[in-house]
Amino acid sequence: MRDFYATSAPMPLDQADGLRRLFAGRRRHVLPLAANPHVAFGGVVLDRLAAVLASQGREVLVVDAASSSPLPHELAQVELAACIESIAPRVAYLPARGLPMTYVDTRGSAGGFIDAVQLAAPQAEVVLLHADASDLARLFKRRAARPLLIGADHPESIKHAYASAKLLAQRCGLMTFDLLLAAPPQSPRAARIAASLGGCVENFLGAVLRHSALVDPAAGSEDPASPALARLLAEQLALDDTTGAARRPVAATAPHGMPAWQTPGTDTNKIRPAFL
């Protein structure tokens, strides 16, 4: 005999189960951002990216897992969804310092953390995953991606961005990168920095710095994205991390507005890194 409240419908697994069903089948994106302790405006870069994506009508989750990020709530080990907070329209935030390491399997992959985040926030179309390069190497050990390097207009930050690219190339085989440069639009060094970093990535790693874009630390969240930033994000969202498209060789084309080192025929051996 069945109790009067019994039902043949399956019970929800947790509070996010209904959302997972609602958003099942929606294409989702995980954008890896390599944290850089030498960039004073790293948080501004995250805010700016989230605001631009939200202005395009996308639901965004910022997962802040860098070593300098806030510690996660004590419930994170039990119910990740309960630790996600809404910080702006269409933008949510998850403090996650140290969390990726708790998902490392016997093969050294922490990809289970990405799966857990997507289960906890099924409505998020874009996950901005901000973490140190060593953690990103574990998280994207079996995933295709084009990591976003973060830099500023001073040498130490660019040295660190290059070191992040080197680690990801060597440990994950990820060979294409984008650069977000936290600097004012009038910075006289911005173009030269992007060219120097691109030359080093190509000459010493055999990799490609695909796009670069300035993120003005003084810009408001309501300001429209620059053409370079809009193009960078559009290509990031066009990547398919299930087919390995991001790991296929990229033709050496030079989209409008890219530094001269990406122009076909440019001798990158003549480019002298300004930061080494």
| pLDDT of the residue at 26 | 58
Residue 103, SS3 per DSSP: helix
Positive or negative, the Cα torsion across 46, 38, 177, 225? positive
219 pLDDT band (50/70/90 cuts)?
confident
Q: Model confidence over 158-195: pLDDT tens digits?
A: 999 999 999 999 999 999 999 999 999 999 899 999 99
> Rounded to whole angstroms, what are the CA distances from 129 to 62, 182, 205?
6, 18, 24
Percent of the chain with pLDDT over 90: 73
Which has the higher per-residue pLDDT, 147 or 9? 147
What is the b/e burial string over 110-133, where b = at least 16 CB atoms within 10 angstroms of the residue's CB?
A: bbebbebbbbbbbebbbbbbbbbb
- Going by DSSP bridges, is the β-strand pair 60-64/126-131 parallel, antiparallel, or unpaired? parallel
Pairing of strands 29-34, 85-88: unpaired
Task: Judge contact between 253 and 264, C-beta under 8 A.
Answer: yes
Structural domains in the chain, sorted by start: 27-242+258-270 (3.40.50.300)
Which range, of 2-6, 34-38, 121-125, 152-156, averages the lowest pLDDT?
2-6
Average pLDDT over the chain reads 83
